[in-house]
Amino acid sequence: MSGIQTTTWWLEMKNQPAVKAEQTFAENCMLMQMTEPVKSFYLFLYTSVGRPYQWYNRLMMSPQELHELLNSKGTSIWILYIKGVPAGFVEFNISESNETEIVYFGLTCDFTGRGLGLPFLKWCISKAWERPIDRLWLHTCDLDHKAALGIYKKAGFTVYDKDTVYQEKPDPEDDPYLLLPW
- The distance from CA 146 to its chain's CA centroid, rounded to whole angstroms, is 15
Instruction: Judge whether 180 lies within some domain.
Output: no
**Cβ–Cβ under 8 Å, residues 87 and 116:** yes
Query: Domain holding 119: CATH number?
Result: 3.40.630.30
**Cβ–Cβ under 8 Å, residues 11 and 136:** no
Instruction: Judge whether 52 lies within some domain.
Output: yes
Instruction: Judge whether 132 lies within some domain.
Output: yes
CA distance 115 to 39: 29
What is the DSSP secondary-structure string of 78-115?
EEEEETTEEEEEEEEE--STTEEEEEEEEE-GGGTTSS
Instruction: Judge whether 182 lies within some domain.
Output: no
With a CB cutoff of 8 Å and minimum separation 6, the contacts of 21 are 119, 122, 123, 125, 126
Number of domain units in the chain: 1
Instruction: Judge whether 15 lies within some domain.
Output: yes
The secondary element (H helix, E strand) that includes residue 161 is strand 158-169
Instruction: Judge whether 80 lies within some domain.
Output: yes
Instruction: Judge whether 157 lies within some domain.
Output: yes
Instruction: Judge whether 62 lies within some domain.
Output: yes
CA distance 58 to 88: 16
Nearest to 121 by CA among 166, 82, 157, 68: 157
List the domain range (segments joined by +) for residue 7: 2-175
Q: What pTM, to 2 d.p., does this model score?
A: 0.89
**pLDDT one digit per residue (tens) for the chain, 182 residues:** 567 888 999 999 999 987 665 556 667 899 999 999 999 999 999 999 998 888 888 988 899 999 999 999 999 999 999 999 999 999 999 999 999 999 999 999 999 988 899 999 999 999 999 999 999 999 999 989 999 999 999 999 999 999 998 876 666 566 666 666 55
